[in-house]
């Protein structure tokens, strides 16, 4: 895919997941024990052979910058091409919200890149996609633009762009809805198109008052282009609420999904390397149905949980249905259930904490309980 470049758009709104994103963008939410959400889009681009990738920074950019740094862990620290940071547009009295302003401000990157096509992605999905397949679908359908969708497996209340297609994969309608029903075709905020088409859409829409790439750039002008839609059949999660975040993490406890997302040798998910030691299980450890990241020391009981790097679980402690982020410390005899603990949370000895099954209790960063 030498003729294709990628953009990871991290300018998404994260209003519905505010608890965990007070100090970070949703895309840099820790996920599955050692990753951050944007790793999935970034790794998919890299594994598809795309070696020129622009990362459009969110408002809270420190955690993203600290995570990606030079892009080396994704093999994007290159002499030619590699990673390009796309900072947000300068405030210039234009109060428009949305990502279009930043795409407009960074159009140079796309147009001067010498590539023929651009893949636009966001960083709030969990997936492992080979964009070569999407690209081929675009060629087969002779479309101007190809987008990617997945079929909803359950009803939910959440904003989504629903796609209607004819039998040959050509999009017949696009609309943003606030509820999702089983069988709906949901857009995944992935678009492939030739660079001139992309530049035209961004320029013409922004200069006519547009704010949002998908809504103003694509949906409103859908009839002007031949758009095809590619179905991604593999696992996918869109992290746009705390409940989805909790559920998607726990989906990784299903060995089939775990294998599909992470263990495909040709498509590994890359992340920042931390050089932690393998997990040390002591003689009182009792672990069932859990993911445990390197650097942990486990002396207690852990069930149905996701344990991030460097967590310690003390003797006689019980951790059930939890997500414990980096460097949490569960003291001896403590008991936590249905809990999402952000980084560096300390649960003191013998404390008990329990959330509801469908509504996990969230503990903010660096809190001591």
Partner 1 sequence: MRKTECLAMILAGGQGSRLKALTKTVAKPAVPFGGKYRIIDFPLSNCANSGIEKVGVLTQYRPLELHNYLGSGSAWDLDRTGGGLFILPPYAREKSADWYRGTADAIYQNINFVKLTDPEYVLILSGDHIYTMDYSWMLESHKRNKADATIGVFEVPWDEAPRFGIMNTDKETGKIVEFEEKPANPKSNLASMGIYIFSADIFIKYLEEDGVNENSSHDFGKDIIPKMLNDGLGLYSYAFDGYWKDVGTIESLWQANMDLLQDQPPFELNGDWKIYSSNPSMPPHYVGENASVKESMVSEGSKILGEVSKSVIFPGVRIGKGAKVTNSVIFPFTTIEDNAVVDHSIIAQDVTVKAGAKVQGKEEEILVIAEGETVNA
Report the alpha-carbon distance of residue 67 to residue 43 in Å, rounded. Answer: 13
Query: Closest separation between CB of residue 133 and partner 1, Å?
Result: 21
Residue 145 vs 291, nearer CB to partner 1: 291
Distances (CA, A) of 36 to 25, 164, 271, 300, 343: 10, 31, 7, 26, 13
Query: Closest separation between CB of residue 327 and partner 1, Å?
Result: 10
The residues, ordered by sequence, that sit 6+ positions from 323 with a Cβ below 8 Å of its Cβ are 246, 249, 305, 306, 308, 339, 340, 341, 360
Q: Which string of DSSP letters, residue by residue, matches 12-78?
A: ---GGGGGG-SSS-GGG-EETTTEETHHHHHHHHHHTT--EEEEE--SS-HHHHHHHTTSGGGT---
Report the alpha-carbon distance of residue 51 to residue 334 in Å, rounded. Answer: 47
The residues, ordered by sequence, that sit 6+ positions from 273 with a Cβ below 8 Å of its Cβ are 73
Residue 215 vs 285, nearer CB to partner 1: 285
The residues, ordered by sequence, that sit 6+ positions from 313 with a Cβ below 8 Å of its Cβ are 296, 297, 298, 299, 300, 301, 302, 307, 319, 330
Query: Closest separation between CB of residue 252 and partner 1, Å?
Result: 8
Query: Closest separation between CB of residue 176 and partner 1, Å?
Result: 33
Number of C-beta neighbours around residue 1 at 10 A: 18
Query: Closest separation between CB of residue 300 and partner 1, Å?
Result: 12
Residue 19 vs 316, nearer CB to partner 1: 316
Report the alpha-carbon distance of residue 195 to residue 59 in Å, rounded. Answer: 26
Residue 227 vs 261, nearer CB to partner 1: 261
Residue 87 vs 255, nearer CB to partner 1: 255
Residue 203 vs 247, nearer CB to partner 1: 247
Query: Closest separation between CB of residue 164 and partner 1, Å?
Result: 36
Contacts with partner 1, residue ranges (CB under 8 A): 32-35, 72, 252-253, 255, 258, 261-263, 268-271, 273, 275-295, 297, 306-308, 310
Residue 147 vs 296, nearer CB to partner 1: 296
Query: Closest separation between CB of residue 214 and partner 1, Å?
Result: 30
């Amino acid at each position: 895919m030498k003729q294709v470049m990628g953009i990871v758009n991290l300018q998404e709104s994260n209003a519905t997941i505010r608890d965990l994103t007070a100090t970070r963008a949703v895309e840099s939410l820790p996920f599955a024990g050692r990753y951050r959400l944007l790793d999935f889009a970034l790794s998919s681009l890299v594994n598809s052979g795309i070696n020129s990738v622009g990362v459009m920074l969110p408002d809270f950019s420190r955690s993203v910058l600290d995570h990606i740094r030079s892009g080396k862990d994704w093999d994007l620290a290159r002499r030619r091409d590699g990673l390009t940071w796309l900072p947000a547009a300068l405030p210039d009295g234009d109060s428009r919200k949305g990502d279009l302003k930043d795409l407009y401000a960074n159009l140079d990157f796309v147009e001067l890149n010498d590539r023929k096509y651009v893949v636009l992605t966001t960083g709030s999905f969990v997936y492992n996609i080979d964009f070569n397949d999407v690209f081929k679908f675009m060629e087969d359908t002779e479309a101007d633009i190809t987008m990617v969708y997945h079929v909803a497996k359950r009803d939910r209340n959440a904003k989504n762009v629903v796609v209607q297609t004819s039998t040959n994969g050509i999009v017949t309608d696009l609309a943003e809805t606030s509820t999702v029903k089983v069988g709906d075709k949901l857009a995944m905020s992935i678009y492939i198109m030739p660079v001139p088409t992309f530049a035209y859409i961004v320029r013409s829409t922004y200069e006519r008052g547009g704010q949002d790439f998908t809504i103003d750039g694509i949906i409103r002008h859908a009839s002007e282009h031949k758009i095809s839609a590619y179905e991604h059949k593999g696992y996918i999660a869109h992290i746009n609420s705390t409940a989805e975040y909790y559920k998607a993490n726990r989906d990784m406890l299903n060995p089939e999904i775990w294998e599909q997302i992470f263990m495909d040798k040709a498509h590994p998910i890359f992340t920042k390397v931390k050089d932690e030691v393998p997990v040390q299980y002591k003689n009182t450890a009792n672990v069932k149905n859990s993911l445990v990241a390197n650097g942990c020391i486990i002396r207690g009981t852990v069930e149905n949980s996701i344990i991030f790097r460097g967590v310690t679980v003390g003797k006689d402690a019980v951790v059930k249905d939890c997500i414990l982020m980096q460097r949490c410390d569960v003291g001896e005899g403590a008991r936590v259930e249905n809990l999402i603990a952000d980084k560096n949370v300390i649960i003191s000895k013998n404390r008990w904490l329990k959330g509801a099954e469908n509504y996990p209790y969230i503990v903010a960063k660096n809190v001591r309980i």
